[in-house]
Amino acid sequence: MNILKSDIELGDYTPNVGTMFLNNRDAYQSAPAFAERVGGPYKYWSWQQLTSDIISLSAHLLNSGLDPENKTLSRVAFIGSNSYQRLVCEMAIMSSGLTCVPIFARYPNELMEKLIDFSAISMLISDNSEKILSLNKDCLPERLIFLNTPEFDNILTQDISPKLKAEIEQHFRNVPSSALAMIMYTSGTSGFPKGVQLHHSNIMSQQKALQIMWQPESGIRMLCYLPWHHSFGGLFERFFALHSGGCLAIDDSFGKDIDRLLENFTEIKPHAYFSVPVIYQAIVGKVLTSEQAEKSFFHDDLKFIFTAAAPLPLSTSDVFRSHNIPVVESWGLTETSPCCTLTGFSMDRIPGLVGFPIPGVEMRLGEDSELLVRGENVMSGYFHNEQATEKSFSEGGWFHTGDIGEINQDGVKIISRKERMFKLSNGEKLFPSNIEENVCRRCKFVKYAYVFGSGQKNPFMLVFPNSELMAASVRNQQEDPSCKFPGSCASLSSCLSSCVDEINTYQLTGFERIGKALVIQRELSLEENELTPSFKLIPRRIEEKYQSYIEAMQSEEYGSLPTDAYVIELD
For the chain of 571 residues, list the mean pLDDT of each consecutive stretch of 10: 92 98 98 96 98 98 96 96 98 98 92 96 97 96 96 94 97 98 81 92 98 95 95 96 98 93 97 92 90 96 90 84 95 96 89 91 94 98 97 96 92 86 84 84 85 89 83 61 49 72 77 88 83 80 89 80 78 61
Cβ count near 307 (within 10 Å)? 22
Q: What is the pLDDT of residue 478?
A: 55
Q: One-letter amino acid identity for 229?
A: H
Fold match between domain 1-15+201-415 and domain 421-568: no
Helices marked H in 157-310 — which ranges? 162-174, 200-214, 231, 238-243, 258-268, 277-287, 291-297
Q: Given the DSSP bridges, would you call strands 143-146 and 99-102 parallel, antiparallel or unpaired?
A: unpaired
* Torsion angles phi and psi, residue 30, rounded to 5: -85, -5
Nearest partner of 568 among 465, 428, 471, 419, judged by Cα: 465
Burial of 291 from C-beta contacts in 10 A (0-12 / 13-18 / 19+): exposed
| CATH fold for domain 1-15+201-415 | Rossmann fold (3.40.50)
Domain boundaries, the chain: 1-15+201-415, 17-29+43-175, 421-568
Q: What is the pTM of this model?
A: 0.87
Give which of 326, 293, 276 is closest to 533, Cα–Cα.
276
Span 17-29+43-175 CATH architecture: 3-Layer(aba) Sandwich (3.40)
Q: Which CATH superfamily is domain 421-568 in?
A: ANL, C-terminal domain (3.30.300.30)
> Would you state the pLDDT for residue 446?
86
Name the nearest CA neighbour of 316 among 285, 360, 362.
285
Distance (Å) of CA 87 to CA 35, 173, 450? 11, 19, 36
